[in-house]
Homo-oligomer: A and B are copies of this chain.
Amino acid sequence: MKLYEYTMAPNPRRVRIFLAEKGVEIDTVQVDIPSGENLAAEFRAINPRSLLPTLVLDDGTVIDESVAICRYIEELHPEPPLMGTDARSKAVIESAQRHMEWDGLLSVAEAFRNANPAFRDRGISGSEGVPAIEALVDRGRASTLRFFAALNDTLGESEYVAGDTFSIADITAFCVVDFAKWIQIRAGDEHPHLNRWYAEVKARPSAQA
């Protein structure tokens, strides 16, 4: 089993933190995204979508979505559970996890990617020849601010993002909040619940992964 990843990018970090929480180690290979190593023929032969992280199983099966990689690990190593334990908790965590992706990760990525010269011709992850769109920088920033407010509200109602236990939804949220620093957006005094939660998650050993 081999995990292709890039240390600096938020999606591979989600998987590294997940693995650290599980105490699972996988051999990794670094693929440099800014220089376009993920777009080169060598990596495209492994994953035609050119996205990281990508897990290749010993039988050659390719799993190339962070959450799908986490699902594989969760199934093989159920403890500690990070994706729920029964129908309700699995659905609630999956729902919350997706909020973090669609409302958070996508928003920050939109602002980051369309403002960064390295991606001026790579407006969509894994793509080439897709021009950046300047209007998405402001839209992404505004969406990120709304996301921070909503996340603060959520964390005012429960200890963790998907209720009273730490889950994959917290991992995604934590990586989004750190990713937002790249677009100069940080939690402030108006986000007391988010700040309380962030300090807790950052204190977990897995946050260093």
Contacts and interface: CB of A to CB of B under 8 A. Distances in A.
Interface in A62-101: 63-65, 67-69, 71-72, 75-76, 86-88, 90-92, 94-95, 98-99
Contact of A76 (B48, B87, B135, B136): B87
Given A61-B92, A71-B90, A95-B63, A130 B142 contact: yes
A99 B139 contact: no
A87 B95 CA distance: 20
A130 B123 contact: no
B139 A133 contact: yes
Nearest to A94: B68
A94 B76 contact: no
A49 interface: yes
Tell me if A's interface is mostly helix, strand, loop or mixed: helix
Interface in A190-207: none
Contacts of A95: 63-65, 68
Contact of A91 (B75, B87, B99): B75
A37 B124 CA distance: 32
5 interchain residue pairs of minimum CB distance: A75-B87, A72-B91, A68-B95, A68-B94, A65-B98
